[in-house]
Each structure stands twice: as C-alpha cells, then as structure tokens.
Amino acid sequence: MVAMTAKTRIGVIFGGRSGEHEVSLMSARSVLAVLDRSKYEVIEIGITHEGEWLAGEGALDALQNGRTEKLAHAMILPIPGDGWLYAIRQAGGGQFLEKLTPLDVIFPVLHGTFGEDGTLQGFFELGDLAYVGAGVLGSSVGMDKGLFKDLMRARGIPVLNSITFNRSQVETDSEAIFQAAEALSPYPLFTKPANLGSSVGITKCHNRSDLLEGLMDAARFDRRVLVEQGLNNPREIEISVLGNDEPQVSLPGEIIPADEFYSYRAKYIDERTQLVIPARLDAPTVARIQEIALKAFKAVDCSGMARVDFLLDRATNDVFVSELNTIPGFTKISMYPKLWEASGLSYSALLDRLVELALERKSSRDRTERRYESRGRA
C-alpha cells in the first residue's frame, strides 16, 4: 500500500466522445459526492461530446446543463514529470497555457470509446501519470467484445459462440453475414457494437429482419459489429473485481431486467429492473463464477477494477462470460459499488482503495528501466 500525505489531488474526468456520455455524467455525480474531501482535493474535468476538455468549479453541472461558458478550456501535457492541469487562455490574438493545479491521480469516469478503450490510458502513460483502473492492454482488450471473446476461448474460459464483422461488410454483403450468423446457433441472436457498453446499440434478434435492423443499428456506433448466440431466458450474474497483481472478488449479484434483456432502458430508465444482492446461487456455483471472474481479469492483464458479467443457463447451470467492464458504472444503482458494499467494503472505502491501487501501479511502473546499458558485456 502506498502512503499518502496531505490531501491527494484527484482529477475526476467525465463525459467524453461516446454514446455513453450521459451515463458517464451519472457515474461521475456519484463519485464526486462520495470522495472524502478531508483526504482529497477534487478537480472536476469534463469532456464534451465534441472532445473539448473543460475544468472549473461545478464543471459537472455545467456540462450537464450545457452552460459551460464560465469553464476554462483545459489540457494535460503528455510530458513525463509535468503532471499539471493547464487552462488554455486567450491573449493578444494568441493562446497561452496557465497552470491550474498539479494532479496526483487521475480518476477517469469515462465509459465507452475514448475513455475506456485504452486511448486515454495511453495518453496518461505518455505523461507518466497515476490513474485509476486498467492499463492500455486491459482497457483495449476488455472494450473490444470480439477480441475479448477470442482471448477467453484461447484461455479456455467459457463464452458463447460469436462472430465479428466490419461495418463495410454490414453495408455491402448482408447475405453472407446472414448465413454466417445463422450458422452460429438458432435464433435468438444478439447484435452489438464491439466497442461500446451500457447496452447502447444492442438488439435481440428473433429473425432475419431483426438481424438486419440490429446489424445496421450496431454499425452506427462502431466499425466492428458482433453477432452472438443467445440463450433462452438466462440468468444475468455480475461479479466485481478489485486489485492489481492479487485481485479480489466480491459476492455475485443478479440482474432481473424489466426488459427481455438488460437493455439501456432496463438499466437507466425503467425502474422495475431488480438487483438481487447477493445472487441466490448455491455455494459451488458462486465459487465457480468467482474463479472464472479472476481468470478473465488476469487474462487481459487488468488492474484496479473490473466488473465481469455472466450468463447462466437455467437448464444446464452452465456459466458463460458475457463481458468485462474496466470502468464499470458508478451510479447510485450500479452493481460494481453495490456488490462491494454487500461484501463489506463501503463506497467511500472502495474509492480510497482505487486511489491506492492507482498509486501502487504507478510505483510499479516507475521500476521499469527505460534506458538500456550493456553492463560490461562485450
């Protein structure tokens, strides 16, 4: 555990260029409300749909209300050892950078593309910054559902049959896609953008007409589209994972969606969706799901946190990994913090632990040598 002195300056980043922009704002509101201000100096950094970085007091409210004129345009320089948040100021017909505050840790609460997919994590790595959550590899593999499932299969971790197509194939060769998709399994099939979460762009397809509609909808949100085998009325189970090299798992929870699957509407709009914590499972099934969650977490070289989602076949009791979310939801209704609360770790203590893990991982990265010397070899 890395010791922290005085107040740790945390830059909480939210919004972003993603279909999950609004979900990110909901998560950030919860995180900002719970972070202990006696321990942390919290700096709000919002990213608009267009990709502008904005900072200032009340940035979350301003971004949500569309009243951002009083916020400073902001940026972080990807220069190791700098570590400052800058305001971009206008003067004399030009621009200059003004130092706003140093940042000890970045807490990205950015779901989806340009936040959860390794792009932002790569930027933080360039700047040698401490940040909460998975690194470039874990983020990018966890985000791409097609690649993630291929890796799970290679590691012997159970997933449902699936196949991935490019947007150009969807637009020009739908007949070939129909044949390949229908060879996976009988309907229902699911279509999904490969790189997105919160069930944005997901369609449950009962026939070929649904499949075409679902493919076209998913292709709106990503250039890679996944078609996946569906199960009839599966149980939806989730596990929270926390840690770096020695991760721990929570109790499992179960989602009972208000829709025919856990859709965007069922997650964030329809209040009839139920969360059952802990899930009503026998001890061997709990142990099996927890073991698989840890294997999946380690397989993608994840760190910090992840929520691993499962589908449980009611008829056979077989479990399948559905996906791994490296920046899970942090809203008041989100499973990730709720599962840890049920496992004995409060929301506030969870955030403290995530900050500690970010600093621990930064300390580990700092041990890596960046310059090669022959050490006396001829």
What percent of the chain stands above pLDDT 90?
81
Predicted local distance difference test score (pLDDT) of residue 290: 98
Residue of 95, 124, 91, 89 whose CA lies nearest to 13: 124
* pLDDT tens readout for residues 227-238: 999 998 899 999
As beta bridge partners, residue 76 has 85
Instruction: Kindly report the average pLDDT of the chain as a whole number.
Output: 92
Q: Quick one: tokens of 264?
A: 């965007």
**Model confidence at 338: pLDDT above 60:** yes
3-state secondary structure the chain: CCCCCCCEEEEEEEECCCCCHHHHHHHHHHHHHHCCCCCEEEEEEEECCCCCEEECCCHHHHHHHCCCCCCEEEEECCCCCCCEEEEEEEECCEEEEEEEEECCEEEEECCCCCCCCCHHHHHHHHCCCCECCCCHHHHHHHHCHHHHHHHHHHCCCCCCCEEEEEHHHHHHCHHHHHHHHHHHCCCCEEEEECCCCCCCCCEEECCHHHHHHHHHHHHHHCCEEEEEECCCCCEEEEEEEEECCCCEECCCEEEECCCCCCCHHHHHCCCCCEEECCCCCCHHHHHHHHHHHHHHHHHCCCCEEEEEEEEECCCCCCEEEEEEECCCCCCCCCHHHHHHHHCCCCHHHHHHHHHHHHHHHHHHHHCCCCCCCCCCCC
- What pLDDT band is residue 2 in, cutting at 50, 70 and 90? very low
Q: Which CATH number applies to 8-131: 3.40.50.720, 3.40.50.2300, 3.40.50.1820, 3.40.50.20?
A: 3.40.50.20
Do 293 and 241 touch, CB atoms closer than 8 A? Answer: yes
Q: Which CATH number applies to 235-365: 2.70.50.30, 3.40.50.300, 3.30.470.20, 3.40.1280.30?
A: 3.30.470.20
CA–CA gap between residue 302 and residue 121 (Å, rounded): 12
- What pLDDT band is residue 257 in, cutting at 50, 70 and 90? confident
Predicted local distance difference test score (pLDDT) of residue 269: 55
The phi, psi pair for 285, rounded to 5°, reads -70, -40
For 337, counting Cβ atoms within 10 Å of its Cβ (0-12 exposed, 13-18 middle, 19+ buried), the class is buried
Average pLDDT over residues 303-310: 97
CA–CA gap between residue 87 and residue 53 (Å, rounded): 9
Average pLDDT over residues 309-338: 93
Torsion over CA: 44, 45, 48, 52 (sign) = positive
**Could you tell me how far CA 149 lies from the centroid of its own chain?**
16
Predicted local distance difference test score (pLDDT) of residue 195: 83
Domains 161-229 and 235-365 share a fold: no
Site of tokens 């949100």: 221
Average pLDDT over residues 280-290: 97
- What pLDDT band is residue 9 in, cutting at 50, 70 and 90? very high
Average pLDDT over residues 317-329: 95
* pLDDT tens readout for residues 63-72: 999 999 999 9
Predicted local distance difference test score (pLDDT) of residue 333: 79
- What pLDDT band is residue 91 in, cutting at 50, 70 and 90? confident
Residue of 216, 235, 233, 234 whose CA lies nearest to 225: 216
Residue of 355, 316, 298 whose CA lies nearest to 130: 355
Give me the architecture of the 161-229 domain, per CATH.
2-Layer Sandwich (3.30)
**Model confidence at 375: pLDDT above 90:** no
**Nearest 5 degrees, angle CA 21-CA 278-CA 142?**
40
CA–CA gap between residue 201 and residue 222 (Å, rounded): 9
Residue of 12, 17, 31 whose CA lies nearest to 101: 12
Do 24 and 109 touch, CB atoms closer than 8 A? Answer: yes
CA–CA gap between residue 357 and residue 191 (Å, rounded): 35
- What pLDDT band is residue 174 in, cutting at 50, 70 and 90? confident
Do 62 and 56 touch, CB atoms closer than 8 A? Answer: yes
Domain ranges of the chain: 8-131, 161-229, 235-365
**Model confidence at 197: pLDDT above 80:** no
Average pLDDT over residues 120-140: 97
Is pLDDT larger for residue 5 or for residue 165? 165
Residue of 130, 121, 43 whose CA lies nearest to 81: 130
**Model confidence at 294: pLDDT above 60:** yes
Torsion over CA: 196, 202, 207, 211 (sign) = negative
